[in-house]
Structure formats: C-alpha cells, structure tokens
A and B are shown apart, each in its own frame.
Chain A
C-alpha cells in the first residue's frame, strides 16, 4: 500500500469499507505521537499502554457504528479521545498522576530497549526523567499545551480547537510554560 501518499481521511474511508490493513497503517503512522502524549500526561508505562489501547478501541467502535462525524483531522480527534480518557482516569482515581519510579521493574521498558545496552537505557531514562520533571512542574493548562504541541505535534490552531480556547490563549499558555520551565532549569541548575 502507498503508505505516505494515502491521506488519513482516505485510510479511514478504506477502513470503513472493510480494509483492516488501513487501520493498522493509520495506527502505525501516529502511534508514537499518541503514545508519547498519553505518557506525558499519566507518566506511567502500564497505564499508558492501557489508555493507548482504550483510545483505539473507542476509535474502532465509533467508526464501526458509523458515528464518526469529525470535520477535522484524524490525529486531533484521536488525541481528544486519549486526552479525555486521561482525564477520566484521574477523576476516577481522585488523585494526582502517579510517577513511576526508575527502580521499579517495567517489562515494557525491558522489551522496548531490548536492543539497547544498559548504558544507553540508563542515559535515555535519565533524559526522560529530567524532561518529565520539567513538564510536571507546570500548571495543568500549560502542561496540556506543551504535551499537545511538542509531543503530539498538533498545531496551535488544532490545540485551540481541541481545548476550546483562542489561538492566542494557547500560544500564551505555551509562552508561560516555556518561561516557567526556563526558571526551573536555572533554579535547579539542570543540565539537559
């Protein structure tokens, strides 16, 4: 199949016409951005896998029932579902996001970095932890924009639509987020 030349809309249409491979292509095209965005919200590998699966199960159910009425693009739609599932999770648990400790055994991490050596894995983990800590220090609205822009790669226009604010508000939140993270880097003398 012409992977990169087929638009998301066309792949969706093919899937709705019975082509299962079209869905797999769509998932593979966007999986890392969606997964990383969920991970940055919930900060737990197991939970991220669960929410990632639940997101696409919801996507499939919506498509199968012919309820997909989105005018916008596929990725913002999926990210909105993922984002809502993250919020649902926090509401259900009525607690702050859990932070996975680096010394906890994580089978997904072991599988994912199976081809890396121990030193590479450690360096990656350290870099991840520092960035995660930086993003964690932000107020929710700022964190949301950083994750959606930087890790999910949505445009500010798409973020504005998804979060129901103006583009300038989304940009303004990003500005405060960058200023706040810079202050944290300076105050804690973080080397990235």
Chain B
C-alpha cells in the first residue's frame, strides 16, 4: 500500500506541492499505516529541523540599493 507514494511524493507533500487529493490520501495513509507514517516522519523531522534560520538585510543595504537606483541617469526603458 505504501508503494502508492514514493519518497519524492512525500517530499513534495512536506513542501506543500501535492494536490489536495494527494495530500488527503497521504494524510489518511499516514494515520492508518504505521510503516508509512514512520517513513513520512523520517523526512518531516529533518524538514522541521531546518526551520530556525531566517535573516534579513540591514536597512542600510536597502538604502544603498535605492540610492543606486536614484542616481542612475539612464532613462527607464520598458521591455515588454
């Protein structure tokens, strides 16, 4: 039964790239089949472990970028 979904499917599920129907089937299967649930959790643990890092630029970087934009003398040209 667990052969219905490959490891790649489970990774797509963990990153919310499965369809609604696939997601429901994976959730149901994880709840009813311990072996499948264990396989899913073995990936989920690592994905969740990656969560903490989120950083942002210093406001001065944004200011430097905007200053560069303002000082550009070339006229703006639309390309579409």
Out of B43, B45, B65, B76, which one reaches A16, CB within 8 Å?
B76
User: A23-72: which residues lie under 8 A (CB-CB) from chain B?
Assistant: 23-24, 27-28, 31-32, 35-36, 39-40, 48-49, 52-53, 56-57, 60-61, 63-69
Q: How far is the CA of A127 from the CA of B48 in the complex (A)?
A: 12
Q: Name the residue on A nearest B62 (C-beta).
A: A27
**What number of A-B contacts does a CB cutoff of 8 Å give?**
126
Which bucket holds chain A's interface residue count? 35 or more
Are A192 and B66 in contact, with the CB atoms below 8 A? no
Are B77 and A66 in contact, with the CB atoms below 8 A? yes
Q: Is B64 an interface residue (CB 8 A)?
A: yes
Contacts of A13 in B (CB 8 A): 78, 80
A79 to chain B, nearest CB (A): 15
Q: How far is the CA of A35 from the CA of B61 in the complex (A)?
A: 11
Are B17 and A155 in contact, with the CB atoms below 8 A? yes
Which bucket holds chain B's interface residue count? 35 or more
Are B74 and A64 in contact, with the CB atoms below 8 A? yes
Q: Is B1 an interface residue (CB 8 A)?
A: no
Q: How far is the CA of A39 from the CA of B42 in the complex (A)?
A: 27
Contacts of A130 in B (CB 8 A): 52
User: A115-150: which residues lie under 8 A (CB-CB) from chain B?
Assistant: 124, 127-128, 130-132, 134-135, 146, 149-150
Binding site of A, secondary structure by majority: helix, strand, loop or mixed? helix
User: B7-35: which residues lie under 8 A (CB-CB) from chain A?
Assistant: 7-8, 11-12, 15, 17
Out of A17, A131, A178, which one reaches B53, CB within 8 Å?
A131
Out of A53, A111, A131, A155, which one reaches B65, CB within 8 Å?
A53
Q: Name the residue on A nearest B44 (C-beta).
A: A178
* Those 4 A-B pairs whose CB atoms lie nearest each other, nearest first: A66-B77, A127-B52, A171-B8, A56-B65
A residues within 8 Å of B by Cβ?
13, 15-18, 20, 23-24, 27-28, 31-32, 35-36, 39-40, 48-49, 52-53, 56-57, 60-61, 63-69, 108, 111-112, 124, 127-128, 130-132, 134-135, 146, 149-151, 155-156, 168, 171-172, 174-175, 178, 181-182, 185, 192
